[in-house]
Amino acid sequence: MNIMIDTNYLTPYNLASFFSRMLIFIGAWFFMPSVLSAQVASPGAQETLSIKESDYYEIISIPIPDGIELEVGGLALTPDGSLGVATRRGEVWLVENPYMEGTRIPRFVRFASGLHEPLGLAYHSGSFYTSQRSELTKLTDRNGDRKADVYETVVSWPLSGNYHEYSYGPLFTPEGDMLVTLNLGWIGHGSSMAKWRGWMMKVTPDGKMIPIASGMRSPSGFGYNAQGDVFYGENQGDWVGSGRITHVEPGDFVGNPEGLVWSHLEESPVKLRPEDIPDTGMPMSKVAADIPGFKTPAVWLPHGLLGISTSDILVDKSDGDFGPFSGQLFVGDQGLSKIARVSLEKVNGVYQGAAFPFIEGFSSGILRMVWGNDGSMFVGMTSRGWNSTGPAPFGLQRLVWTGKTPFEIKTIKAKPDGFELEFTLPVDAALAKTLDTYKLSSFNYKYHHNYGSPVIELEDLTVRGAVVSPDGLKVRLVVDGLKEGYIHEVNASGIISKDGMPLLHAVGYYTLNQLPAGEKLELPTASAASVDTHVGHQQKPASSTIVTGSMQVTATASGSQQKRVTTMPAAWSKGPDYTFSIGTKPGLKYDVELLEVKTGSKVKITFNNDDDMLHNLVVVKPTTAIKVGEEALKMGLEGSQKNYIPASEDVLFHTNILSPETSESIYFQAPTVPGDYTYVCTFPGHAYVMQGILRVVR
């Protein structure tokens, strides 16, 4: 890192700001924690300013009575102010007074029961509507006793019986129709074993079902943007390199070809056939360019950074009651118990935009978000089947803006020669015009039948100019090397506000589908000084492009063993002393949770990933599993390339990240010091629960 600054700007105030900037810069390069500390210069005194997400948005837990397993599948507000909650246990609850006004505790009334894993809820014209696994159901309370007395099937659809055939929705259209999405089944890969699995469907009030779009894998959340266009969220998996949101229009194919087995049917608006989709591992944008009707994501949510399992989409219609992000989208994440924020724009008729961290620290895995009638957001959670960083098995919380404006990058917009960053508060102009304040890179993911993707084609970009608007709210960056169809990381961690505040989150990820036409910025002479500061900036050569592939084996602290040995050492003429085979079981668990070996013995462990998501197996020193897991989470864009193996002495031996239905064997000599060593999965979010003990005894 090489930071230069035009000394003309080094007033005493700015000098202090500059050093505070350095602190932040060093502490928060790739991963932005939710708490930042900064030294703020004030006349005659040095004050430590600590900013955290909770200064701006408060997470309030809604108490759930004992005995109610509120595994939230759907949320919907009713006109009387109650919150309807559908649960995966098959119930619909009415939560009265969910705002906990006064000292009153919310009251839970069971409205409906006996449903089959409802994963959506809507309230429309006096009735609730929910998607059960096999049907869209209308629930009506005719006699006003707060209990549904009529359960009506609006339409039903076939199931193969596979556990992964979740059904989501409905989302009402302005015309009164309903949109639902149907998850693919899972048989070691996604599969459409029943009609219209992997599709978005429209259901008319009289129960006619019309296919809208295909290519979905696990479309658990969908909603409108401010313009009333429909977006859906996708989860990393086969053909899906990372989480993302995609604009859906009738006739679209959005990426996973399994559902195309039904496109030959007359009523299909999608004409592509499975064999039209090449399996090359090229970036999705490059493949889609040659295939009419193939819609690429509006915004990617980089895996492990902005989430690991995209869930609901909610547009900010609060008109300022929820803070400065009116018109933007909030996108939930189940595995990391957090919410990202998305600013969209349309360029050449195509949606694109930037995703930012927004808030984390919810109690369980976020599946649903809905607005309360006071501009606060209800967040419904469940983590059964998929662990989440929020440790509770389920939960219901409310997110309330405190009224304070967080200092954030509000939007990023594409320009013909760079980006325009808009901030929520005026920036310190001297820092904002300094080129080394910014770090930009571009990258992509593989589009292929495999599960997920490492980050590919990661490349640093050169910032040539930074021009601050007179009001200090915008910075226009001139950047070399922008690439259509790629994700651009924009890190502005050097920026501070005019009042000396660091950014609450300093990074955004812009998906550049289209480079806009228009005037390029003539860098004014005044900013030549900034340009000059760029001399000596150590731009990495083109060879910094990181090629995907396996982690290099590295020596352990002792230097005597390598951490990943996948062929039996030649010296083991009699073979291993111990041979273990470990698989997985539901709920993010290894199917063997205790191994016992003698000190110094020869051990072979085969890890079979028979699960439906990515895992690894990492042997670590006693009591360090969570620490290593959290270090893996902080690896940023490098994580996926390095198999989420942090460079840590606590890591003793490991496999690589394994796709579903693959396996890897590792060979090592057991530690010479007895103890309970841990084997842990360091894939983001898994380390908290996916652990076993390697007991080493004399």
Interface ranges with Cu ion (CB under 5 A): 615, 681, 683, 686, 690
Question: Least distance (Å) from Cu ion to the CB of residue 248?
Answer: 30
Whichever of 6 and 630 has its CB closer to Cu ion, that residue is 630
Three-class SS state of 20: helix
Q: What are the residues whose beta carbons fall under 8 Å from the beta carbon of 432, sequence distance 6 or more?
A: 466, 468, 472, 475, 495
CB nearer Cu ion, residue 443 or residue 683: 683
The least distance separating Cu ion from the CB of residue 617, rounded to whole angstroms, comes to 9
Smallest gap from Cβ 683 to Cu ion, in A, equals 4
Surface-to-core class of residue 155, CB atoms within 10 Å of its CB (0-12 exposed, 13-18 middle, 19+ buried): middle
The nearest distance, CB 690 to Cu ion, in angstroms, is 5
DSSP-based helix, strand, coil % in the chain, nearest 5: 10, 40, 50
To the nearest whole angstrom, how small is the minimum distance from the Cβ of residue 666 to Cu ion? 16
Supply the minimum distance, in Å, between the C-beta of residue 309 and Cu ion. 12
Nearer to Cu ion, 443 or 607 (CB): 607
Beta carbon of residue 381, minimum distance to Cu ion (angstroms, whole number)? 20
The SS3 of residue 390 is coil
Considering the complex, state which of residue 259 and residue 390 has its C-beta at the smaller distance from Cu ion: 390
**Which of 332/452 has CB closer to Cu ion?**
452
Minimum CB separation of residue 653 from Cu ion in Å reads 16
Distance CA 113, CA 34 (A): 39
Which tokens go with 10?
């080094």
Please report how close the Cβ of residue 386 comes to Cu ion at its closest, in angstroms: 10
DSSP secondary structure letters along 175-233: TS-EEEEE--EESSSEE--STTTTEEEEE-TT--EEEEEE--S---EEEE-TTS-EEEE
Give the residue with the Cβ less far from Cu ion, 148 or 681: 681
- Whichever of 338 and 615 has its CB closer to Cu ion, that residue is 615
Least separation in angstroms between residue 388's CB and Cu ion is: 13
| Dihedral Cα 483, 485, 487, 490, nearest 10 deg | 40
Q: Which is nearer to Cu ion, 398 or 686 (CB)?
A: 686
Instruction: Rank residues 372 and 454 by Cβ distance to Cu ion and give the closer one.
Output: 454
**Which is closer to Cu ion, CB of 122 or CB of 618?**
618
DSSP 279: -
d(CA 119, CA 71): 10
As a residue count, the chain comes to 698
Residue 131 burial (10 A CB sphere; 0-12, 13-18, 19+): buried
Phi, psi angle pair for 542, to nearest 5°? -55, -25
φ, ψ at 258 (rounded to 5°) = -60, -40
**Smaller CB separation from Cu ion, 363 or 682:** 682
What is the C-alpha to C-alpha distance for residues 616 and 554, in angstroms, rounded to an integer? 17
Residue type, 186: W
Position with the least CB separation from Cu ion: 681
Q: Closest distance between Cu ion and the C-beta of residue 626, in Å? A: 14
Calculate the CA dihedral of residues 411, 335, 280, 486 and round it to 10 degrees.
Answer: 10
CA neighbor of 93 nearest in space, from 148, 174, 155, 13: 148
In angstroms, rounded to a whole number, what is the distance separating the alpha carbons of residues 391 and 396? Answer: 13
CB count in 10 Å sphere of residue 471: 8
DSSP state of 104: P
Q: Which residue has the tokens 């060879």?
A: 543
